[in-house]
Amino acid sequence: MAGNERMIRGRVIAAHGRHYQVELDDGQLRQCYTRGKKSGICVGDYVDIEIQGQEEGRIERIHERRNLLYRSDEMRAKQFAANVDQLLIVVAVEPLFSDDLTGRALAGAFSADISPVILLNKSDLSKGLPLARARLAEMAALGVPVVETSTLHPDALRDTLLPLLAGKTSLLLGQSGMGKSSILNILVPDARADTQAHSLALGTGKHTTTSSRLYHLPDSQGDLIDSPGFQAFGLKHLGQTEVEQGFPEFAPFSQHCRFYNCTHRHEPGCGVLEALEKGLINDKRHELYMRILAESTAPQKY
């Protein structure tokens, strides 16, 4: 195995264009690159690298991923994080978050088999808190944990979140200005991630955080990935079955659909539509399902 002597395993903790920062199993950091132009490598990937010189390395192999998340811009969906155990969907009392985006993030988590948790941040802004809670009731009803946090109360924030994060790779995801990096800075004091008032961030037309990065919680209590504010969650690549997996509350009813390949849009004898009619499925959730399905660019099987 002479040729493999210098092959070492590591995890991608940051990606900038075609440059990757890889943390080796012994904690050493290496600046890495790939042979080809398009690598598809993203934060969270486990890779084998060949050591080059003192500080660099070349990525030779990506280990099989447990899961992969996409975000999308106007043009296309991009891979942005791999091997994530838990999606922390960060919303805030102010600026008020988008229901549609939150629902999509939830569908993305469920379809990738990642457990979602909603963090309702800025809970110190008590005036808007009841409205924010009411808007999340629909998701809480699905059994998704909703955890209230405030970065003005760092001790309480640590006490609430650290047990949830232990032993897992969690991803902070949410719109710009919700407080993702502020939360990270409390949990990982040496992260020193930039944070900014939302109005300032909007003024420059830029998000404060510009690329995803993986951090270690103190005392090996888990890993946390911070990501730039998102406008759209990449779901277009999902096929009908995967979109349906994004709505786990349909499952008990879709068993009763007349057709095994029912898409729950207009078919006769559809268990999901029947449940919708009876008010057992939330109509806003079904509308979101229809929108995501209509946008799907995956080849239709039926």
Q: 32 among the known binding-site residues?
A: no
Residue closer to Mg ion (CB basis): 34 or 181: 181
Q: 123 among the known binding-site residues?
A: yes
Asked whether position 275 contacts Zn ion by CB under 5 A, the answer is no
| DSSP characters over the chain | -GGGTTEEEEEEEEEETTEEEEEETTS-EEEEEESSS-----TT-EEEEEEETTTEEEEEEEPPPS-EEEEE-SS-EEEEEES-SEEEEEEETTTTPPHHHHHHHHHHHHHTT-EEEEEEE-TT-TTTHHHHHHHHHHHHTTT--EEE--TTSHHHHHHHHHHHHTTSEEEEE-STTSSHHHHHHHHSGGG------HHHHHHTTS-S--S-EEEEPGGG--EEEE----S-B--TT--HHHHHHT-GGGHHHHTT-SSTT--SSS-TT-HHHHHHHTTSS-HHHHHHHHHHHHH--SPP--
Q: 73 among the known binding-site residues?
A: no
Asked whether position 262 contacts Zn ion by CB under 5 A, the answer is yes
Question: Could you identify the residue written with the tokens 């004091």?
Answer: 189
Size of the site for Zn ion (CB under 5 A): 5
Residue closer to Mg ion (CB basis): 90 or 118: 90
We find the least distance from the C-beta atom of residue 206 to ligand GTP, in angstroms, to be 8
Asked whether position 209 contacts Mg ion by CB under 5 A, the answer is yes
Q: 83 among the known binding-site residues?
A: no
We find the least distance from the C-beta atom of residue 285 to ligand GTP, in angstroms, to be 25
Asked whether position 257 contacts Zn ion by CB under 5 A, the answer is yes
Q: What is the C-alpha separation between 175 and 249, in angstroms, rounded?
A: 25
Q: Give me the residues paired with residue 30 across strands.
A: 22
Per CB under 5 A, the segment of 53-61, 99-107, 179-187, 259-267 that binds Mg ion is 179-187
Q: Which tokens sit at 34? A: 């790939």
Asked whether position 264 contacts Zn ion by CB under 5 A, the answer is yes
Q: 262 among the known binding-site residues?
A: yes
Q: What is the binding site for ligand GTP (CB under 6 A)?
A: 121-122, 124-125, 150-152, 174, 176-182, 195-198, 201, 207-209, 228-229
Q: Which does 262 bind (CB under 5 to 8 A by kind): Zn ion, ligand GTP, Mg ion, none?
A: Zn ion
Asked whether position 227 contacts Mg ion by CB under 5 A, the answer is no
Q: 177 among the known binding-site residues?
A: yes
Q: 221 among the known binding-site residues?
A: no
We find the least distance from the C-beta atom of residue 18 to ligand GTP, in angstroms, to be 23
Asked whether position 102 contacts Mg ion by CB under 5 A, the answer is no
Q: What is the C-alpha separation between 252 and 254, in angstroms, rounded?
A: 6
Asked whether position 151 contacts Mg ion by CB under 5 A, the answer is no
The binding site for Zn ion (CB under 5 A) comprises 257, 262, 264, 270, 272
The binding site for Mg ion (CB under 5 A) comprises 180-181, 208-209
Residues annotated as binding site for GTP?
Answer: 121-124, 174-182
Residues annotated as binding site for Zn(2+)?
Answer: 257, 262, 264, 270
